[in-house]
C-alpha cells in the first residue's frame, strides 16, 4: 500500500482517479463532462503550484484519491491561464448540452463567491477539492489516511485552516467529514444543491 503524489506524466493514475470520480461523485458539473475531461483536469491540478492529487494504490489496485489546494482562487486562475484551452477542447460538445450550459457560469465564479449562510466570512481559501474511495474498500481508514496526506502538504504551504463542501443530503460524506475533525460552518447554494461547508483548523 502506498500513496503516490501524481504529476503531469501520471496519465494512467489520473485516468483511474477520473473513473473513480465518475462512480463516486455524482453531483455538480464535472461528472457531466466525461472521463477524458476529468483525466485532463486532474493532470492539470497535479501540475499547478501549491495544489496536488494523491492516489492510494495497493499493487495494481487503485484504492482512492484526494485533490486539494492552498488557494482555490489561485488554482482556478492558474488552470484557466495554463490549461483552459486544453480543458475546453477536451470537454468538446459536452459543454453545449442544455444540462451543462446552465452550470458553467456558476462553476467559473465558484472560487470567488463570498456569502451564503456561513459562520466564517470569508471562508478559508484552501480547499479539499475532491476525495473518493473505491466502494469495496470502505471502512478501512483509507479516507482518513488521504486527508492526513493532503494536510501534510497544506501545512508545508503555510495553510492554517481549510474547507470542504459536500451535498448536505449525502449522509455518508457528512459523517466522514465530522469524524475526521471538520466543523460545520454553514451552507451555500450551488446549482440546485445545498452544500454543507466544513472547516478544519490545522493548528488545533
Q: Is the Cβ–Cβ distance between 34 and 89 less than 8 Å?
A: no
pLDDT < 50: residue spans in the chain: 98-105, 115, 117
Whole-number pLDDT of residue 98: 40
Whole-number pLDDT of residue 95: 57
Supply the range of the domain harboring residue 149.
2-201
Question: Is the previous residue joined to 122 through a cis bond, with omega within 30 degrees of 0?
Answer: yes
Whole-number pLDDT of residue 101: 44
CATH number for the domain that contains residue 58: 3.40.630.30
Whole-number pLDDT of residue 145: 97
Number of domain units in the chain: 1
Q: Is the Cβ–Cβ distance between 55 and 45 less than 8 Å?
A: no
Nearest CA to 52 out of 131, 110, 119, 107 is that of: 131
Flag whether the pTM goes above 0.85: yes
- At 114-168, the pLDDT tens digits run 545 455 567 899 999 999 999 999 999 999 999 999 999 999 999 999 999 999 9
Whole-number pLDDT of residue 31: 81
Whole-number pLDDT of residue 192: 75
Amino acid at each position: 500500500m502506498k500513496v503516490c503524489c501524481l504529476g503531469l506524466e501520471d496519465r494512467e493514475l489520473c485516468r483511474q482517479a477520473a473513473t473513480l470520480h465518475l462512480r463516486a461523485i455524482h453531483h455538480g458539473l464535472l461528472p457531466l463532462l466525461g472521463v477524458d475531461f476529468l483525466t485532463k483536469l486532474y493532470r492539470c491540478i497535479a501540475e499547478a503550484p501549491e495544489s496536488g492529487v494523491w492516489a492510494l494504490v495497493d499493487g495494481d489496485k487503485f484504492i482512492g484519491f484526494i485533490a486539494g489546494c492552498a488557494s482555490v482562487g489561485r488554482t482556478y486562475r492558474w488552470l484557466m491561464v495554463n490549461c483552459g484551452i486544453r480543458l475546453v477542447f477536451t470537454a468538446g460538445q459536452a459543454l453545449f448540452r442544455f444540462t451543462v450550459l446552465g452550470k458553467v457560469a456558476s462553476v467559473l465564479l465558484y472560487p470567488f463567491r463570498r456569502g451564503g449562510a456561513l459562520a466564517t466570512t470569508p471562508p478559508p481559501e484552501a480547499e479539499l477539492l475532491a476525495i473518493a474511495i473505491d466502494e469495496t474498500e470502505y471502512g478501512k481508514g483509507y479516507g482518513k489516511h488521504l486527508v492526513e496526506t493532503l494536510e501534510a502538504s497544506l501545512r508545508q504551504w503555510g495553510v492554517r485552516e481549510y474547507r470542504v463542501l459536500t451535498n448536505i443530503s449525502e449522509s455518508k460524506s457528512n459523517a466522514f467529514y465530522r469524524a475526521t475533525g471538520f466543523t460545520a460552518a454553514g451552507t451555500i447554494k450551488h446549482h440546485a444543491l445545498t452544500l454543507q461547508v466544513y472547516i478544519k483548523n490545522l493548528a488545533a
